[in-house]
Chain A
Amino acid sequence: MEHEEILHRCFRCGYCKLPGNYVDVNCPSYLAFRFETYAPGGRMWLLRAWLDGKVSASARFADILFSCATCGNCVAHCAFPEFKDRLLLVFTAGKEAFLDEGIAPPPVRDLLTKNQIHGNAYGKPARQRTSWSEGTDIPLFSDQEYALFADDVTAYDPRGQEIARSVARLLQQAGVDFGVLAGDFRSDGNDVRALGETALFEDLAAHNIKEMNRLGVQKILTLSPHSLNAMKNDYPGQGGKQQVFHYTQALAFAMKNLKFKTGLPEIRVTFHDPCYLGRHNADYESGRMILRAVPGVKLVEMDRNRKNALCCGGGGGNFFTDLLSGGDDTPARVRVREAAATGASLLAVACPMCAVMLEDAVKTENLENLLAVREVSELVMDASCL
């Protein structure tokens, strides 16, 4: 297994379970299950035991491995410099080793099969990837500055499609020069890679890169931070040469072009940092810059914000596989309770997966009368003169 030479170096001190300010458990899978096995240190020790023949690969072991949301909290807060940078690489390698053995939780297997056969997590045709923009005046990509890439959720999930339309309309109004990528595009592959299916990821990436090159794309705007992460950090290794931005990064500097309604009442908003925008790509400000520019918005912070943010539990493929569901302390439920505790009436998100996860959690927690989840673009649209 790749990186196996560092497995024994984990002391299991537990810094990885917490945020930097220690307010509460911050590892999504450990929060949901609370067995030591579900914490990063537990995974390290179990993988070592497996390689040493002391523990067998099993369905439970697979659940433990694949429930990692790859949020990067462990990387951010592990006490051991350099070693910590390889934690997620170790877990991905462990998942890859399990896949090589043919052992994966059924939902993971199904997700990877859909990606293999259809090129996306929903098993839908590639030609439907732009159906969200049909019937609108949102332009397709031709020779604009930016090409807008819709990930699987914004392309195929009804809620995701709403977000895609909202973002696109807002970018239009803000004067951002873009067009929607249309063509034979497939999943960005970020979650496929996180699930350890490296070869499939490379296929997806190579296919998308070839298609982008064919269309002459030089700058990509992504709707999802997951796409941002894959295309910015992993595609170059597959030959990708495009510059990649999350849409909030373009919008943040175009906010001055928007006109807002007058007399808007003050509204308390708290921002949920998406893991793949925040911890993975160190952008904690674009979303906040946008929110601060909206009249009436009073930004309040949750105890766990920026590098300490609690993941919604949707990363690492868990949005599709749902391995973290079922208890009172799923990350999304804990997160909306934390958001409500700030006194905010709006929870702003900048990731379609986070939006769906947290909206579901608000309903489960019966917080609908106190807290609404709004994607950042929707919140801006509500206040603008559009």
Chain B
Amino acid sequence: MTAELIQRLSKIVGPRFVSNAAEELYLYSMDPGTMPQAYPDAVALPKTAEEVQQIVRLAGELKVPVVPMGAGLVLSGLTRALKGGIILDMKRMNRIIKVNPLSRYAVVEGGVAQGMLQAYLKKYHPTLKHSMPDAPPIATMAGNMCIHGSGHLSVLGGSHSDMLTGMEVVLPTCEIIRTGSCSVSPDWFGRSPLPDLSGLFLGWAGTTGIVTKLGIKLFPNYAFNDMLIFVCEDADTMPDVIFRLTGVQVAEDMTPWMTPKPDWAKGFLHINIAFGAHSKKELTFKRNLLQASVRHYIDRKTAGFLPLPPTQKNRFLKVPSPDLARFADLRKGGGFEYVGAMMAIEHFPEAYRAGLEIAEKFQVSYSLGARIIGAGHAMMFFFAYAFNRADDEDVRRASEALDATNRAVLDMGGIPWKAERPAQVQIMEKMDPDTFALMTRIRATLDPNHIMNPGNWEK
């Protein structure tokens, strides 16, 4: 079977871009998180949607699973081949197809990296930008979109899937379909007013199709940018603070963070608030609005804004920030993973305390924080735990802390984001049974051969 598979994959993408060598099978059996290895049978690197289509056709014929992968940076093991099969590394599909500067959207192929679009816009459309996640710049647009990612414009524009204007998808049954306006028109301006089929591929962890193109919203890239950091000591005040700050509708991004390191930060709750403007006057106006929104707390001397020297401000404004990847080196061990919990902002204090308790219980190095989504409509609260990859016991502790965090999150009404297989099981246990039955029926209809990333979102 494998020999035939490799031979036929080679005919599709060329022998240079197919491998079942031990080296590739080993490396693609895992991601940088804590999930155990799951070996694929082959790795293939398609260049076009037609090649993806042919691979899916072949997989259907041979009843071999297909697992699409972007940069493989999800950390929760979603691109592992749980039932073997072919991992499709999509990063050769890296063309930026078009930018519509007036209607502010871009159309890119499924393997385009976040950093590449950022660089492209900087060069050719410097007045535009897209919402970059905190992931490293090699992370792909499509991968982040498909997991409902969020980023540095998420207060302004919501989660990244809210910024999606349409997709081209290779279905498990081999058709290449389009969702959104591009299914009717040459323009990729949005998902309405049609029945919104994009949801069939968002949050499904690659179990319903393979995204080969996507349209995303772009936003003004301001000439003047600034950052405020609000600091308080009482977690119970955070929901109201977030409510007030988002209420003035000027922030692009708001990211609370609570870490024990550096020492000066320990015990404090910070909120980074990024905002921009076309002029200095407008920037001052927006700063004043933000400051006025939380005047109540400043007047009571229970909280305030942290004075920031310009160099530090620039560091906070850097997008993406390598500081986040550096958390992996906290224990000189090359690893971290986090539970990103989507939840309502009123659960902030509860989530914060749960994070501290779990870190204490499992003796793990932690960083807690959140990204506000929309005008305080939700947040992605993250519980990040660093581990030493070379210490099995340390990895086990982090893994147990993650598992406990997933349970705590579900108990408080949140939902683990980009959930790893064990967290998916926890979610499915809580999910309305009829909803899960519908998910299963939809998936069976789309994927009658059950070849798409099997082992995910199934009991």
Contacts and interface: CB of A to CB of B under 8 A. Distances in A.
A11 B335 contact: yes
Given A35-B43, A36-B72, A58 B332 contact: no
A35 B13 CA distance: 13
Contacts, number: 110
Interface in B372-414: 388-390
A264 to B, nearest CB: 30
Contacts of B94: 24
Contacts of B208: none
Interface range for B: 35 or more
Contact of B334 (A8, A17, A24, A56): A8
Contacts of A15: 136-138, 322, 325
A8 B91 contact: no
Given A23-B119, A34-B45, A326-B16, A11 B329 contact: yes
A17 B24 CA distance: 17
Contacts of B91: 34
A338 to B, nearest CB: 13
B118 interface: yes
A34 B113 CA distance: 14
Interface string A13-24: 111011001111
Interface range for A: 35 or more
Contacts of A9: 329, 332-334, 389
**Chain A interface secondary structure, helix, strand, loop or mixed?**
loop
A34 B17 contact: yes
A14 B73 contact: yes
B388 A22 contact: no
A61 B322 contact: no
A253 interface: no
Contacts of A358: none
B236 to A, nearest CB: 35
A14 B136 CA distance: 7
Given A23-B123, A58-B22, 18 more contacts: A8-B333, A8-B389, A9-B332, A9-B333, A11-B325, A11-B329, A13-B328, A24-B119, A35-B24, A35-B89, A36-B72, A36-B89, A46-B27, A49-B26, A54-B26, A64-B23, A83-B329, A326-B16
26 contacts: A8-B388, A9-B333, A11-B32, A11-B328, A12-B32, A13-B325, A14-B136, A14-B137, A14-B138, A15-B138, A21-B119, A22-B119, A22-B137, A24-B94, A24-B119, A34-B17, A34-B45, A35-B43, A36-B24, A36-B89, A46-B23, A46-B27, A55-B26, A58-B21, A79-B136, A326-B16
Task: Sort A-B residue pairs by CB-CB distance and give the 7 closest, nearest first.
Answer: A22-B115, A14-B138, A79-B322, A11-B328, A8-B390, A13-B325, A9-B334
